[in-house]
Amino acid sequence: MRQEGQKSILIVDDHPLFRKGVADLIEMEPEFRLLAEAKSGAEGVELAKSLCPDLILLDLNMHGMDGIETLSRLKREHVSALVIILTFSNQESDLVAALRAGADGYLLKDMEPESLLDNLRAAAHGETVLDPSLSGLLAHAMKDLDDAPAQNDGALTEREREILALIAAGMSNKMIARELHISDGTVKVHVKNMLRKLNLRSRLEAAVWALGRQDSPTEKTAPGHA
């Protein structure tokens, strides 16, 4: 039975041993509830639609439907769960593809168990999560994302710019709401509108993109956070 405040998790991974290890880790934590395990992308999409998890842990390199295709399907089916990529791949191309497909986080499988749990807790509270070892790839990833079409921060309202800057600073919706003295619901509406205007798919992609604009010498009016 679900306890109050618990976040439900669906694991989608075609490696049985790794899947079991993560499942055992999650089941030991009272703040999480393991809903199900899927051994393929297709099964993961169907379980996500029927079970409505809060978080989905998704592998990239799977037989059949890979992680990027699975993520795209989840978005097309309007699955509301946060999708965290959990993979061995530290390739820039995979990171950028995941961001563009709408991933809400990108973590590596070789991280310590407690670090994984810490990141899942952060994601569950609306924070963007990215494996620290990937920070060196961000400059290239930001350039690739900056080259994507139809991204115009001039269309943002002043409030949306403020929220984008706070997202780039790693703040969750609750933290942003407290900072700006508005409700969580209002923050969610602004985030949704901001992502639509920028042609971006997730908070994580928005954070990476905003950081790239801050670092660009040609973007003097880019959003920032002191």
Amino acid code (one letter) for 27? E
- Determine the CATH number of domain 141-215: 1.10.10.10
What is the structure's pLDDT at 202? 82
- Quick one: average pLDDT of 182-208? 87
* pLDDT tens-place string over residues 135-151: 667 656 666 655 554 45
Residue 141: what pLDDT? 63
pLDDT at 223: 34
Q: What angle do CA 183, 187, 193 make, to 5 degrees?
A: 145
Each domain of the chain, given as residue ranges in start order, spans 7-134, 141-215
Task: Tell me the DSSP string of the chain.
Answer: -PPTT-EEEEEE-S-HHHHHHHHHHHHT-TTEEEEEEESSHHHHHHHHHHH--SEEEE-SS-SSS-HHHHHHHHHHTT--SEEEEEES---HHHHHHHHHHT-SEEEETTS-HHHHHHHHHHHHTT--EE-GGGGGGHHHHHHHHHTSSS--GGGS-HHHHHHHHHHHTT--HHHHHHHHT--HHHHHHHHHHHHHHHT--SHHHHHHHHHHHHH-TT-TT-----
pLDDT digits (tens, 9 = 90+) for 121-136: 988 887 878 888 886 6
Q: What is the pLDDT of residues 56-104, one digit of tens each?
A: 999 999 999 999 999 999 999 999 899 999 999 998 889 888 988 889 8
**Percent of the chain's residues with pLDDT above 90:** 55
Mean local confidence (pLDDT), 192-206? 85
Which pLDDT tens digit goes with each residue over 11-27? 999 999 999 999 999 99
Of 167, 156, 157, which is closest to residue 208 (Cα–Cα)? Answer: 167
**Confidence class for position 204, pLDDT limits 50, 70, 90:** confident
Q: What is the CATH number of domain 7-134?
A: 3.40.50.2300
Any idea how long the chain is?
Answer: 226
pLDDT at 199: 83
